[in-house]
Structure formats: C-alpha cells, structure tokens
Amino acid sequence: MRLFITLFICSYLQSTTDEYFKKPINFDADIIINNQENLISKGKILFRDGSFIYNLIDPYRQTIANNNGKLYVQDDDFQQVIIYKNDNTFFLQDLFDNEYESENVPCSKICFKLLSRENSSFQEALVSLDGDVIEWIRLLDIKDQRIFIKFENFKFESSNITYVAPENYEIIEND
C-alpha cells in the first residue's frame, strides 16, 4: 500500500505544471526571431499583467497589441488597424501565463521543455531562463520549421501600457 501511495504522489508531482513565471509578469525586451536560414523579424515587446504591445521593426513596421480582450494588428503601410477577438493563441501570452505543462531539461542555466497540446502552434519548445529572465526559446513549429527567439535587454518594468489606434487609420473589426 505504501508503494502504491508513493507511486501515486510521484506521478502527480511529475504531471503538474511548474510555474516558471511569477504573476504578474511585467517586462520589456528586444526580440529577434530567426529560422534556420535567416531573420524572420525583430522588434520590442512590452508585457504587463497579461497585456502586451509588440512593435515590429523588421522586416516592416507593424504593431500587435492585446488589450481588453481584443487583439489589434496595426499595419503602418496600409494605415489600418484590424481588431480580432483575442482567443489567447499568442504563444508568448500562454507561456507567461504558465499555460503549458513542462518538464525540466538539463542545461547550464534553467531550461525546460514545453509539452505541446492538441491545439498547440508548436511540436517542440525549449525555453532557457537566467534566474527570472528569459533568454531564448527554440521552437519546432507545426510546419516543421525551426525557430529561435532571442530576448535581449530584458528588464522588469512596472509602468502601465495602453494601446490606442492612430486617429487617421482605418479600423476593421474582424470577429
């Protein structure tokens, strides 16, 4: 009986999700995203209490923001903002909300492997932390593309963020 109870407790502890990110997580960081061949994009993310603003600067200027249950995609070339209902499919938002089950992986700092779910946008994901600071994420997406996300100039912030669409932009509601 003791063996059964011990095995049950061990299996329960292994199946629980470790919380690597303390809530609320509030930070700013530069992000560089590469695939195996070249740069996909780079920009700056401001993340506060589950809301974020991600300002892309390369390959083109675009702003993606999550605020009040809506996802805003601001395209400066077309001077328009498309508003989507936020269905929480933004990978980083789920990661920082500790939505993925994970298992520890040995490395020189803190590393953990995210366990994909049925509706995940990735097959494999490995995350590296230096203390509370995220350093990088390696992903194998559902199209078998290897993606490397590097975080630079990571700093914890407490200021508030808000997104306001520019006045002269066309607003498109896309539910």
How far CA 80 is from CA of 62, 65, 74, 86, 95, in Å, comes to 10, 14, 6, 18, 29
Q: pTM here?
A: 0.78
Hey, which residues does 104 pair with through a beta bridge?
112
CA distance 48 to 51: 5
Domain containing residue 128: CATH number: 2.50.20.10
Is the pLDDT score of 145 beyond 60? Answer: yes
pLDDT surpasses 50 at 27? yes
In this predicted structure, what is the pLDDT of residue 1?
Answer: 36
For residue 6, tell me if it sits in a domain: no
Domain that holds residue 56: 26-169
**Token duo for residue 2:** 């003791």
Residue 15, in any domain of the structure: no
Q: Residue 50: which pLDDT band, with cuts at 50, 70 and 90?
A: confident
The answer to the question of residue 86 being in a domain is: yes
The answer, yes or no, to whether residue 6 has pLDDT greater than 60, is no
Q: Is residue 48 part of a domain?
A: yes
Note whether residue 17 is domain-resident. Answer: no
Averaged pLDDT, 132-156: 91
Please tell me the distance from the alpha carbon of residue 113 to that of residue 115, in angstroms, as a whole number. 6
Q: Is residue 9 part of a domain?
A: no
Looking at the structure of the chain, the number of domains it has is 1
pLDDT given at position 14: 39
Residue 12 lies in a domain: no
